[in-house]
Amino acid sequence: MKKVVLTKKGEVSSEFKVIRPSGALKGDVSVPGDKSISHRAAILASVASGPSEFSNFSPSLDCLSTLTCLEALGVEIQKDGNRVSISGKGFGSFRAPTEPLFCGNSGTTMRLLSGLLAGSNFEVTFDGDASLRSRPMDRVLVPLSQMGLKIVKDGPPPFTIRGGGLSGIEYFLPVASAQVKSAILLAGLQAEGKTIVIEKNPTRDHTERMLSAMKAPIEVALPIYDRSTLEGRLAKEQGADKRISVTKAGSLSPFNFEIGGDLSSGAFLIAAAVLVPKSKITVRQVGLNPTRTAFLNILKRMGGEVSWKIEGERCGEPVGSVTARSSKLKGVKIAGGVIPNLIDELPLLACLAACAEGTTVIRDANELRRKESDRISAVSANLRKMGVKVGELEDGWAIEGPAELAGAEIETFGDHRIAMAFSVLGLVAEGETLIRQPDCVEVSFPGFYETLERLGQ
């Protein structure tokens, strides 16, 4: 049986990895703890009234950035492998950092901490790596400034804010973003009056679930459709507004739980099993929040043999297993309200489309141009290198398959999702696929290449 070869000598290299065609992928596997949930668990535990503990905390560099920033704010954190203990002392307990909070590559860290620190009466500067410095922060700073946050130094990172004296607002999200929603809710827990966030298209609801588990003053009003009327049927088809409201919190209850595996990481292994002939894998104990399973639904619509089952719940989050088998795929159209809950998996779906029969069209994904890289441009360029016919659109792609894939030198632009998506595609390409800057996968999935190798043995 052929193995995934990491480099020409089978060694780890900080500059590249070589992926060669793989034999069947088999077995059960787990993935690191959910990155989105780990961020939120750490941030909310820091303002809980007492100690909280989490197992299977994400080992990603992004979540390490969150922990490092919290420690700079005076939060007591103990780390033992993937177990994290945080001593929360309530709102208003942070100390002013002596240096800028360096968020690395993590937009989640920067945006959510901006919301959390909006209630603290001191100045703080946020900074990040070159990629994060290019990403939009106005979408968070604008609503927070409407609540009373003072922008001392505006613009892209580094920027400086001063918190304190917040008032609740009603805010309609102009861009579907769970990060922006969460930042406003975190500020709202420290504001006078009620804060209401309105979203047209559903986004990840990890923050709402966690706040409910901590007995926070939060209410979620879902749209109700009267299907007996034309108006109700149209609202159901077009989507209707979801309203999340919070009021000032006296305290938040500490909490302990095991974090489920990250489905966004598991998606790469699931895709590999679908593409590589005679493969069958099961991802165990993975998060199956319904705002995160759009990838599985789309993969099934493409003809992928994938099934999943909820087996329990942790802190309001459903957890279960996903089984995937090698499948023959067909092209589909992906657009509209489903896109916000697919945004991280779209580069991977574009790679799957290269192996699908017919044309796949992905639209309404402009947000991809504002991620760690311009993912639309990056995917287009790399697919063409591998022999795929792809039309680059302003907001997505039109991809014709199945292509006769040839190994190529892949430019990742330091983007973890580009690196992993094309590593998966390299498993079914002729010859060698060279992945540049492979260490970027540590941002979200440490051990990704080792996990692929184990499944191929």
Domain boundaries, the chain: 16-33+260-455, 35-258
For residue 93, give both structure tokens. 């307990």
**Contact predicate 323/269, CB 8 Å:** no
Examine domains 16-33+260-455 and 35-258 and report if their fold is the same.
Answer: yes
Mean pLDDT for the stretch of residues 192-206: 94
205 catalytic? Reply is no
Mean pLDDT for the stretch of residues 249-278: 96
Task: Select the CATH number that applies to the domain covering 35-258 from these four: 3.65.10.10, 1.10.10.10, 2.20.25.190, 3.40.50.620.
Answer: 3.65.10.10
Q: What is the pLDDT of residue 143?
A: 97
Which range, of 143-147, 160-164, 367-371, averages the lowest pLDDT? 367-371
For residue 38, give both structure tokens. 């780990």
104: left (phi over 0), alpha (psi -120 to 50) or beta: left
- Please provide the distance, in angstroms rounded to a whole number, between the alpha carbons at the two ends of the chain: 7
> Would you tell me how many other CB atoms lie within 10 Å of the CB of residue 154?
12
> Would you tell me how many other CB atoms lie within 10 Å of the CB of residue 457?
11
Q: What is the pLDDT of residue 235?
A: 46
What's the pLDDT tens digit per position in 220-253? Answer: 998 655 555 554 444 444 456 899 999 999 899 9
Q: What is the pLDDT of residue 13?
A: 43
Query: Scanning the structure block, which residue is given the tokens 């002392």?
Result: 89
Q: For domain 16-33+260-455, is the CATH number 3.65.10.10?
A: yes
Asked whether the predicted pLDDT for residue 97 surpasses 90, the reply is: yes
Q: What is the pLDDT of residue 38?
A: 97
Catalytic residue (choose from 34, 62, 262, 344): 344
Q: What is the pLDDT of residue 228?
A: 58
How far is residue 146's CA from residue 142's CA, in Å, rounded to a whole number?
A: 6
How far is residue 286's CA from residue 281's CA, in Å, rounded to a whole number?
A: 13
Cα dihedral value 415, 421, 422, 428, nearest 10: 170
Query: Scanning the structure block, which residue is given the tokens 């703080």?
Result: 124
Which range, of 11-20, 54-63, 391-400, 411-420, averages the lowest pLDDT? 11-20
- Flag whether the pTM goes above 0.95: no
What's the pLDDT tens digit per position in 100-137? Answer: 999 999 999 999 999 999 999 999 999 999 889 988 89
